[in-house]
Amino acid sequence: MRAMVIDKSDSGQQASLCDFNEAELMEGDVTVRVSHSCLNYKDGLALTGKAPVVRRFPMIPGIDFAGVVETSAHDGYKPGDAVLLNGWGTGETHLGGYAELSRVKGDWLVPLPAGLTAAQAMAIGTAGYTAMLSLMAIERHGLTPDAGPAVVTGAAGGVGSVAIALLHRAGWRVIASTGRMQESEYLTSLGADEIIDRATLSGAPKPLAKERWAAAVDSVGSTTLANVLSMTRSGGAVAACGLAGGMDLPGSVAPFILRGVALLGIESVMAPKPRRVEAWGRLARELDLTKLDAMTRTIGLADVAEAAAEIIAGRVRGRIVVKIGG
Ligand code: NDP
């Protein structure tokens, strides 16, 4: 089968599109014929080797995929079932989605939700699913749009684009923070009510700053996250899901102890099955598919390496689907 494979030699790691022996697929009770995968920031890290995402060589990257069950020894799935998978170490410790076939544990799979095609599911992908987990965490915290606006950082990226559309649909006034002010029209079309330059969140963070929003979805981390926290209203909450700007958090405890602000950690890889099913079901029902279409472009496996460099450079707008087969 055709696959993108990352291998390691003395000169470092190399990614190439090649033939991969199906017999070398890893253990699992379901084999899926993959039709679509996508490009997430973590796939960019894996393919460029910028961070040690890949834990086994050779590795087929691709942290998520959608397709049709080919063979199954799992009670929940039979040949022909449409399924998707995200996380569980796929593309990191387990051979991933950039291949015509993937063999995985059936327990990792989610049935493709009614209303979504495989291509749409991967247009959403891990990034969009993480945006939904962030919204769900803000809601679980008890916040509603009456509390004030919600800010989205890394707005023109994958998590950011889907988060804007979801928050808008849920009734929030959405403030989009971007380094690409030229994308203002795009962000407005997704549902942003106000666009701010990300430079306003990149200065040295004060312990407390003027209160600007009640909720946040932050895919940037570092100084940006510290500034977002310092500008969050009393009782507000910040869903921290990313590190596109860095992994550190150079802030103060002041927002927590003086304003009762909550920092909500968002982790998509090992999220339990019921939360996954809920998130994917909500995405199928609540995400405006016209907006999803407008934020997505499709590439082939041969284009993935180039796109990986682009996403790490912060130059990808919205989402990229990778068409694999069928
Ligand atoms: P994208 O590259 O599509 O989006 C990231 C965006 O962040 C960019 O488009 C850019 O937006 C902004 N950005 C990039 N570099 C910087 C910088 N140096 N300083 C400030 N802003 C920057 O990636 P994804 O949306 O796929 O992922 C976003 C983050 O979320 C990643 O760190 C990823 O690892 C993380 N993530 C975490 C998950 C989890 O389980 N917690 C799951 C999925 C993703 P703009 O140009 O608009 O400023």
Residue whose CB lies within 8 A of the most ligand 1 atoms, among 64, 135, 159, 264, for a mutation test: 159
**All domains of the chain in start order, with CATH:** 2-112+295-323 (3.90.180.10), 126-265 (3.40.50.720)
**130-179: pLDDT as tens digits:** 999 999 999 999 999 999 999 999 999 999 999 999 999 999 999 999 99
* Cis omega (within 30 of 0) for bond into 58: yes
Mean pLDDT within 171-192: 98
pLDDT given for residue 205 in this prediction: 97
Least confident of 150-164, 287-301, 312-326: 312-326
**Sign, Cα dihedral of 65, 66, 69, 75:** positive
For ligand 1, the distance from its centroid to the CA atom of residue 192, given in whole angstroms, is: 17
Residue whose CB lies within 8 A of the most ligand 1 atoms, among 38, 40, 164, for a mutation test: 40
CB distance 267 to ligand 1 below 6 Å: yes
- The answer to whether the CB of 91 falls within 8 A of the CB of 62 is yes
For ligand 1, the distance from its centroid to the CA atom of residue 12, given in whole angstroms, is: 25
- pLDDT-derived band at 325 (thresholds 50, 70, 90) equals confident
For ligand 1, the distance from its centroid to the CA atom of residue 25, given in whole angstroms, is: 31
Token reading at 118: 């495989």
Instruction: Write the DSSP assignment of 221-234 as a string of letters.
Output: -HHHHHHHHHTEEE
For ligand 1, the distance from its centroid to the CA atom of residue 190, given in whole angstroms, is: 17
In this structure, the chain runs to a length of 326
Orientation angle between helical segments 304-312 and 41-48, nearest 10 degrees: 110
Q: What percent of the chain has pLDDT over 70?
A: 100
